[in-house]
Structure 1
Amino acid sequence: MAAIAPLERLVNALSRLPGIGSKTAQRLAYHVVAQDEAWVRELAESIYNAKKKTAPCPVCGALSEVGMPCALCEDPRRRRDILLVVENMRDVVAMERARDYNGLYHVLGGVLSPMEGIGPDSLRFGELMDRLKDGEIKEVVLATDPDVEGEATAAYIGQLLRPLGVKVTRIAHGVPVGGELEYTDELTLNQAFRGRREL
Protein backbone atom coordinates (compact mmCIF):
# COMPACT_ATOMS: atom_id res chain seq x y z
CA MET A 1 0.00 0.00 0.00
CA ALA A 2 1.46 3.38 -1.03
CA ALA A 3 1.90 6.04 1.61
CA ILE A 4 -0.43 9.03 1.47
CA ALA A 5 1.47 12.23 0.55
CA PRO A 6 0.50 14.28 3.67
CA LEU A 7 1.37 11.35 5.92
CA GLU A 8 4.68 10.91 4.12
CA ARG A 9 5.44 14.60 4.65
CA LEU A 10 4.68 14.22 8.37
CA VAL A 11 7.01 11.19 8.62
CA ASN A 12 9.77 13.14 6.84
CA ALA A 13 9.30 16.15 9.14
CA LEU A 14 9.34 14.03 12.31
CA SER A 15 12.43 12.10 11.16
CA ARG A 16 14.39 15.39 11.12
CA LEU A 17 13.99 15.69 14.90
CA PRO A 18 17.10 14.67 16.90
CA GLY A 19 17.03 11.04 18.03
CA ILE A 20 14.07 10.14 15.80
CA GLY A 21 14.79 7.56 13.14
CA SER A 22 12.54 6.70 10.23
CA LYS A 23 10.70 3.87 12.05
CA THR A 24 10.02 6.00 15.12
CA ALA A 25 8.91 8.88 12.89
CA GLN A 26 6.51 6.56 11.09
CA ARG A 27 5.12 5.25 14.39
CA LEU A 28 4.63 8.82 15.69
CA ALA A 29 2.98 9.93 12.44
CA TYR A 30 0.49 7.06 12.54
CA HIS A 31 -0.23 7.86 16.18
CA VAL A 32 -0.88 11.54 15.36
CA VAL A 33 -3.31 10.82 12.51
CA ALA A 34 -5.18 8.30 14.67
CA GLN A 35 -6.01 11.00 17.28
CA ASP A 36 -9.05 13.24 17.22
CA GLU A 37 -8.78 16.57 15.43
CA ALA A 38 -8.91 18.69 18.61
CA TRP A 39 -5.85 16.90 20.04
CA VAL A 40 -3.92 17.27 16.77
CA ARG A 41 -4.81 20.98 16.57
CA GLU A 42 -3.69 21.49 20.19
CA LEU A 43 -0.38 19.73 19.44
CA ALA A 44 0.21 21.80 16.29
CA GLU A 45 -0.65 25.05 18.08
CA SER A 46 1.58 24.25 21.04
CA ILE A 47 4.52 23.56 18.71
CA TYR A 48 3.88 26.77 16.78
CA ASN A 49 3.41 28.87 19.93
CA ALA A 50 6.54 27.43 21.55
CA LYS A 51 8.52 28.51 18.51
CA LYS A 52 6.84 31.92 18.19
CA LYS A 53 6.81 32.87 21.89
CA THR A 54 10.17 31.46 23.01
CA ALA A 55 13.46 33.30 22.67
CA PRO A 56 16.81 33.48 24.45
CA CYS A 57 16.62 35.08 27.89
CA PRO A 58 17.95 38.65 27.56
CA VAL A 59 20.09 38.08 30.67
CA CYS A 60 21.59 34.56 30.43
CA GLY A 61 20.69 33.30 26.96
CA ALA A 62 18.63 30.30 28.17
CA LEU A 63 15.14 29.90 26.74
CA SER A 64 12.39 32.14 28.04
CA GLU A 65 9.27 33.95 26.89
CA VAL A 66 10.08 36.59 24.28
CA GLY A 67 11.55 39.68 25.96
CA MET A 68 11.31 38.26 29.49
CA PRO A 69 14.11 37.08 31.80
CA CYS A 70 13.93 33.35 32.46
CA ALA A 71 12.74 31.80 35.72
CA LEU A 72 16.32 30.94 36.74
CA CYS A 73 17.52 34.55 36.40
CA GLU A 74 14.46 35.82 38.27
CA ASP A 75 14.70 33.32 41.15
CA PRO A 76 15.80 35.28 44.27
CA ARG A 77 16.94 32.05 45.97
CA ARG A 78 19.79 31.52 43.49
CA ARG A 79 23.31 32.63 44.35
CA ARG A 80 24.32 35.82 42.54
CA ASP A 81 28.08 35.49 43.07
CA ILE A 82 28.70 32.47 40.83
CA LEU A 83 28.11 32.06 37.11
CA LEU A 84 28.15 28.75 35.24
CA VAL A 85 29.02 29.12 31.54
CA VAL A 86 27.55 26.42 29.28
CA GLU A 87 27.29 25.83 25.55
CA ASN A 88 23.51 25.53 25.15
CA MET A 89 20.15 25.31 26.89
CA ARG A 90 20.30 21.52 27.05
CA ASP A 91 23.35 21.86 29.31
CA VAL A 92 21.36 24.13 31.66
CA VAL A 93 18.67 21.43 31.87
CA ALA A 94 21.33 18.77 32.59
CA MET A 95 22.89 20.83 35.40
CA GLU A 96 19.50 21.61 36.91
CA ARG A 97 18.67 17.91 36.81
CA ALA A 98 21.83 17.23 38.86
CA ARG A 99 20.47 19.58 41.59
CA ASP A 100 23.95 20.49 42.87
CA TYR A 101 24.30 23.96 41.40
CA ASN A 102 22.31 26.94 42.66
CA GLY A 103 23.91 29.93 40.95
CA LEU A 104 23.32 31.77 37.70
CA TYR A 105 23.95 30.62 34.13
CA HIS A 106 25.39 32.06 30.96
CA VAL A 107 24.58 30.25 27.70
CA LEU A 108 27.18 30.87 24.98
CA GLY A 109 25.07 29.57 22.11
CA GLY A 110 27.76 27.15 20.93
CA VAL A 111 31.54 26.79 20.98
CA LEU A 112 34.43 28.17 18.99
CA SER A 113 34.82 26.16 15.79
CA PRO A 114 36.88 27.84 13.05
CA MET A 115 36.19 24.90 10.71
CA GLU A 116 32.46 25.75 10.88
CA GLY A 117 33.02 29.51 10.78
CA ILE A 118 32.11 30.01 14.46
CA GLY A 119 34.40 32.64 15.95
CA PRO A 120 34.22 34.83 19.07
CA ASP A 121 31.76 37.23 17.40
CA SER A 122 29.29 34.37 16.85
CA LEU A 123 28.99 33.55 20.57
CA ARG A 124 27.76 35.47 23.62
CA PHE A 125 31.21 36.55 24.92
CA GLY A 126 30.33 40.26 24.93
CA GLU A 127 27.25 39.60 27.03
CA LEU A 128 29.40 37.55 29.43
CA MET A 129 31.81 40.45 29.87
CA ASP A 130 28.89 42.84 30.47
CA ARG A 131 27.55 40.61 33.25
CA LEU A 132 30.86 40.80 35.10
CA LYS A 133 31.17 44.60 35.09
CA ASP A 134 29.40 45.31 38.38
CA GLY A 135 31.69 42.96 40.37
CA GLU A 136 28.86 40.96 41.96
CA ILE A 137 30.01 37.72 40.32
CA LYS A 138 33.09 36.35 42.11
CA GLU A 139 33.50 33.02 40.30
CA VAL A 140 32.91 31.93 36.71
CA VAL A 141 32.69 28.15 36.25
CA LEU A 142 33.37 26.96 32.70
CA ALA A 143 31.24 23.92 31.83
CA THR A 144 31.80 23.48 28.11
CA ASP A 145 32.02 19.91 26.81
CA PRO A 146 35.44 18.24 27.23
CA ASP A 147 36.06 17.93 23.48
CA VAL A 148 38.48 19.93 21.33
CA GLU A 149 36.06 22.80 20.66
CA GLY A 150 34.84 22.92 24.26
CA GLU A 151 38.37 22.99 25.64
CA ALA A 152 39.40 25.71 23.17
CA THR A 153 36.37 27.77 24.14
CA ALA A 154 37.12 27.36 27.86
CA ALA A 155 40.75 28.39 27.31
CA TYR A 156 39.64 31.45 25.33
CA ILE A 157 37.21 32.52 28.07
CA GLY A 158 39.91 31.97 30.70
CA GLN A 159 42.24 34.35 28.85
CA LEU A 160 39.41 36.83 28.33
CA LEU A 161 38.52 36.91 32.04
CA ARG A 162 41.99 36.74 33.59
CA PRO A 163 42.53 40.56 33.55
CA LEU A 164 39.23 41.08 35.40
CA GLY A 165 40.47 39.43 38.58
CA VAL A 166 37.43 37.13 38.80
CA LYS A 167 38.04 33.53 39.86
CA VAL A 168 37.74 31.25 36.81
CA THR A 169 37.27 27.51 37.34
CA ARG A 170 36.65 24.57 35.02
CA ILE A 171 34.41 21.63 35.87
CA ALA A 172 36.42 18.49 36.58
CA HIS A 173 36.70 15.83 33.97
CA GLY A 174 34.32 13.41 35.60
CA VAL A 175 32.44 14.07 32.38
CA PRO A 176 34.06 11.74 29.83
CA VAL A 177 36.27 13.29 27.18
CA GLY A 178 34.25 13.54 23.98
CA GLY A 179 31.03 13.32 26.01
CA GLU A 180 28.22 15.85 26.20
CA LEU A 181 26.67 17.28 29.37
CA GLU A 182 23.19 16.63 28.00
CA TYR A 183 23.74 12.85 28.12
CA THR A 184 25.75 12.68 31.35
CA ASP A 185 24.14 11.17 34.45
CA GLU A 186 23.50 13.26 37.57
CA LEU A 187 26.17 11.59 39.74
CA THR A 188 28.89 12.24 37.17
CA LEU A 189 27.75 15.86 36.80
CA ASN A 190 27.78 16.32 40.59
CA GLN A 191 31.31 14.92 40.84
CA ALA A 192 32.50 17.04 37.93
CA PHE A 193 31.06 20.20 39.48
CA ARG A 194 32.49 19.50 42.95
CA GLY A 195 35.90 18.73 41.43
CA ARG A 196 36.12 21.92 39.37
CA ARG A 197 39.54 23.58 39.28
CA GLU A 198 40.86 27.06 38.83
CA LEU A 199 42.33 27.93 35.42
Structure 2
Amino acid sequence: MQDHPVLDRGQWAQALIQGRHSTSPRRLGAPGPDAAQQQLILAAAGAAPDHGRILPWRLIEVPLDQRARLGAAFAEALLERDPQATAEQLAQAAEKAQRAPWLLLALLRLGHAGAVGAEIPEHERLLATGAALQNMLLQASSLGLGSSLTSGQALQSGPLRRLFGLAEEEKALCFVNFGHVAQPRAVRQRPAVADYFSRWAPEPGRESP
Protein backbone atom coordinates (compact mmCIF):
# COMPACT_ATOMS: atom_id res chain seq x y z
CA MET A 1 0.00 0.00 0.00
CA GLN A 2 1.52 3.29 -1.14
CA ASP A 3 1.74 6.16 1.33
CA HIS A 4 0.42 9.53 0.15
CA PRO A 5 2.22 12.73 1.12
CA VAL A 6 0.52 14.84 3.76
CA LEU A 7 0.05 18.42 2.58
CA ASP A 8 0.22 21.37 4.91
CA ARG A 9 -2.46 24.05 4.70
CA GLY A 10 -0.55 26.16 2.20
CA GLN A 11 0.13 23.23 -0.10
CA TRP A 12 -3.47 22.04 0.19
CA ALA A 13 -4.82 25.50 -0.66
CA GLN A 14 -2.48 25.79 -3.63
CA ALA A 15 -3.47 22.36 -4.92
CA LEU A 16 -7.17 23.19 -4.53
CA ILE A 17 -6.95 26.57 -6.25
CA GLN A 18 -4.70 25.43 -9.11
CA GLY A 19 -6.62 22.18 -9.52
CA ARG A 20 -10.02 23.83 -9.91
CA HIS A 21 -11.36 24.07 -13.43
CA SER A 22 -14.75 24.55 -15.01
CA THR A 23 -16.78 21.59 -16.25
CA SER A 24 -19.57 22.51 -18.64
CA PRO A 25 -23.09 21.34 -17.70
CA ARG A 26 -23.19 18.88 -20.60
CA ARG A 27 -20.18 17.10 -19.04
CA LEU A 28 -21.72 16.90 -15.57
CA GLY A 29 -23.57 13.77 -14.49
CA ALA A 30 -25.65 12.48 -11.63
CA PRO A 31 -25.61 12.23 -8.77
CA GLY A 32 -25.30 15.85 -7.80
CA PRO A 33 -24.04 16.90 -4.38
CA ASP A 34 -25.96 15.35 -1.50
CA ALA A 35 -27.71 17.47 1.15
CA ALA A 36 -24.63 17.71 3.37
CA GLN A 37 -22.41 18.68 0.44
CA GLN A 38 -24.93 21.28 -0.70
CA GLN A 39 -24.84 22.92 2.71
CA LEU A 40 -21.04 23.04 2.65
CA ILE A 41 -21.09 24.66 -0.78
CA LEU A 42 -23.72 27.21 0.23
CA ALA A 43 -21.93 28.01 3.50
CA ALA A 44 -18.73 28.70 1.55
CA ALA A 45 -20.44 31.68 -0.08
CA GLY A 46 -20.92 33.26 3.35
CA ALA A 47 -17.15 33.45 3.85
CA ALA A 48 -16.74 35.94 0.99
CA PRO A 49 -15.72 39.56 1.71
CA ASP A 50 -18.83 41.71 2.03
CA HIS A 51 -18.36 45.46 2.58
CA GLY A 52 -21.04 46.69 4.95
CA ARG A 53 -22.39 43.18 5.41
CA ILE A 54 -25.15 43.92 2.94
CA LEU A 55 -25.23 40.40 1.43
CA PRO A 56 -25.39 41.59 -2.18
CA TRP A 57 -26.02 38.11 -3.61
CA ARG A 58 -28.95 35.71 -3.59
CA LEU A 59 -29.06 32.10 -4.75
CA ILE A 60 -32.14 30.26 -6.01
CA GLU A 61 -32.16 26.49 -6.47
CA VAL A 62 -33.94 25.17 -9.55
CA PRO A 63 -35.05 21.64 -8.59
CA LEU A 64 -35.34 18.90 -11.19
CA ASP A 65 -39.13 18.95 -11.16
CA GLN A 66 -39.10 22.64 -12.18
CA ARG A 67 -36.57 22.39 -15.00
CA ALA A 68 -39.28 22.16 -17.67
CA ARG A 69 -40.59 25.57 -16.60
CA LEU A 70 -37.08 27.02 -16.81
CA GLY A 71 -36.64 25.43 -20.22
CA ALA A 72 -39.90 27.01 -21.39
CA ALA A 73 -38.60 30.41 -20.23
CA PHE A 74 -35.38 29.83 -22.19
CA ALA A 75 -37.38 29.03 -25.30
CA GLU A 76 -39.69 32.02 -24.81
CA ALA A 77 -36.69 34.32 -24.37
CA LEU A 78 -35.18 33.00 -27.61
CA LEU A 79 -38.46 33.57 -29.43
CA GLU A 80 -38.55 37.16 -28.20
CA ARG A 81 -35.01 37.73 -29.53
CA ASP A 82 -35.64 35.84 -32.75
CA PRO A 83 -39.25 35.42 -33.84
CA GLN A 84 -37.99 33.24 -36.72
CA ALA A 85 -36.39 30.66 -34.39
CA THR A 86 -37.13 27.12 -35.55
CA ALA A 87 -38.76 24.41 -33.47
CA GLU A 88 -35.37 22.69 -33.26
CA GLN A 89 -33.69 25.84 -31.95
CA LEU A 90 -36.41 26.32 -29.36
CA ALA A 91 -36.04 22.71 -28.23
CA GLN A 92 -32.27 23.15 -27.94
CA ALA A 93 -32.77 26.27 -25.81
CA ALA A 94 -35.19 24.44 -23.52
CA GLU A 95 -32.89 21.44 -23.18
CA LYS A 96 -30.18 23.56 -21.55
CA ALA A 97 -32.27 23.66 -18.37
CA GLN A 98 -31.96 19.88 -17.94
CA ARG A 99 -28.20 19.41 -17.88
CA ALA A 100 -26.71 20.05 -14.43
CA PRO A 101 -27.73 17.71 -11.59
CA TRP A 102 -27.79 20.66 -9.14
CA LEU A 103 -28.57 24.07 -10.56
CA LEU A 104 -28.61 27.47 -8.87
CA LEU A 105 -29.42 30.94 -10.20
CA ALA A 106 -27.10 33.64 -8.81
CA LEU A 107 -28.56 37.12 -8.37
CA LEU A 108 -26.88 40.45 -7.66
CA ARG A 109 -28.73 42.89 -5.39
CA LEU A 110 -28.14 46.37 -6.80
CA GLY A 111 -29.65 48.24 -3.85
CA HIS A 112 -32.05 51.18 -3.94
CA ALA A 113 -32.48 54.56 -2.30
CA GLY A 114 -33.23 54.27 1.39
CA ALA A 115 -32.15 50.65 1.65
CA VAL A 116 -29.48 49.53 4.12
CA GLY A 117 -26.10 49.69 2.39
CA ALA A 118 -27.41 51.78 -0.52
CA GLU A 119 -24.09 53.65 -0.50
CA ILE A 120 -22.16 50.51 -1.45
CA PRO A 121 -21.49 50.88 -5.22
CA GLU A 122 -22.41 48.24 -7.74
CA HIS A 123 -18.82 47.27 -8.52
CA GLU A 124 -18.19 46.37 -4.87
CA ARG A 125 -21.37 44.33 -4.78
CA LEU A 126 -20.27 42.52 -7.91
CA LEU A 127 -16.82 41.81 -6.49
CA ALA A 128 -18.32 40.37 -3.31
CA THR A 129 -20.72 38.20 -5.28
CA GLY A 130 -17.91 36.95 -7.50
CA ALA A 131 -15.90 36.01 -4.42
CA ALA A 132 -18.90 34.15 -3.00
CA LEU A 133 -19.30 32.19 -6.22
CA GLN A 134 -15.59 31.34 -6.38
CA ASN A 135 -15.75 30.07 -2.81
CA MET A 136 -18.59 27.78 -3.84
CA LEU A 137 -16.68 26.45 -6.84
CA LEU A 138 -13.61 25.78 -4.72
CA GLN A 139 -15.68 24.00 -2.08
CA ALA A 140 -17.25 21.84 -4.77
CA SER A 141 -13.81 20.99 -6.12
CA SER A 142 -12.64 19.99 -2.63
CA LEU A 143 -15.55 17.52 -2.53
CA GLY A 144 -14.54 15.94 -5.81
CA LEU A 145 -17.37 17.58 -7.73
CA GLY A 146 -17.37 19.38 -11.04
CA SER A 147 -18.86 22.85 -11.42
CA SER A 148 -19.16 25.84 -13.72
CA LEU A 149 -20.78 29.23 -14.20
CA THR A 150 -22.96 29.69 -17.27
CA SER A 151 -24.69 32.76 -18.65
CA GLY A 152 -26.54 33.79 -21.79
CA GLN A 153 -28.96 36.35 -23.15
CA ALA A 154 -31.93 34.70 -21.46
CA LEU A 155 -30.67 35.89 -18.07
CA GLN A 156 -31.80 39.45 -18.75
CA SER A 157 -35.04 38.47 -20.44
CA GLY A 158 -38.56 39.19 -19.27
CA PRO A 159 -39.57 35.50 -19.25
CA LEU A 160 -36.78 34.60 -16.83
CA ARG A 161 -37.35 37.59 -14.56
CA ARG A 162 -41.06 36.81 -14.38
CA LEU A 163 -40.43 33.12 -13.75
CA PHE A 164 -38.30 33.83 -10.68
CA GLY A 165 -40.19 36.92 -9.56
CA LEU A 166 -37.08 39.09 -9.48
CA ALA A 167 -37.26 42.47 -7.78
CA GLU A 168 -36.44 45.57 -9.81
CA GLU A 169 -33.09 45.96 -8.02
CA GLU A 170 -32.05 42.35 -8.64
CA LYS A 171 -29.95 41.31 -11.62
CA ALA A 172 -29.54 37.70 -12.76
CA LEU A 173 -25.80 37.11 -13.09
CA CYS A 174 -25.36 33.47 -14.00
CA PHE A 175 -26.35 29.91 -13.35
CA VAL A 176 -24.11 27.81 -11.09
CA ASN A 177 -23.88 24.16 -12.13
CA PHE A 178 -22.76 21.24 -9.98
CA GLY A 179 -22.45 17.49 -10.48
CA HIS A 180 -20.01 14.67 -10.88
CA VAL A 181 -17.62 14.89 -13.82
CA ALA A 182 -19.05 12.42 -16.32
CA GLN A 183 -16.85 13.45 -19.25
CA PRO A 184 -13.45 14.83 -18.28
CA ARG A 185 -11.72 17.20 -20.66
CA ALA A 186 -8.22 18.57 -21.00
CA VAL A 187 -7.53 21.33 -18.50
CA ARG A 188 -6.81 24.67 -20.12
CA GLN A 189 -3.40 26.23 -19.63
CA ARG A 190 -3.31 28.88 -16.91
CA PRO A 191 -2.17 32.37 -17.92
CA ALA A 192 1.33 33.35 -16.88
CA VAL A 193 1.55 35.74 -13.94
CA ALA A 194 3.44 38.19 -16.16
CA ASP A 195 0.35 38.42 -18.38
CA TYR A 196 -1.62 40.20 -15.65
CA PHE A 197 0.91 41.52 -13.13
CA SER A 198 3.15 44.57 -13.17
CA ARG A 199 4.93 46.62 -10.53
CA TRP A 200 4.12 50.31 -10.47
CA ALA A 201 7.19 52.54 -10.80
CA PRO A 202 6.74 56.30 -11.34
CA GLU A 203 9.03 58.00 -13.75
CA PRO A 204 12.14 59.54 -12.13
CA GLY A 205 11.65 63.18 -11.25
CA ARG A 206 7.87 63.02 -11.42
CA GLU A 207 5.86 63.12 -8.25
CA SER A 208 2.55 61.41 -7.83
CA PRO A 209 -0.43 63.76 -7.89
> TM-score with structure 2 length normalisation?
0.24
More helix by share: 1
Higher RCO (CA 8 Å, separation ≥ 6 residues): 2
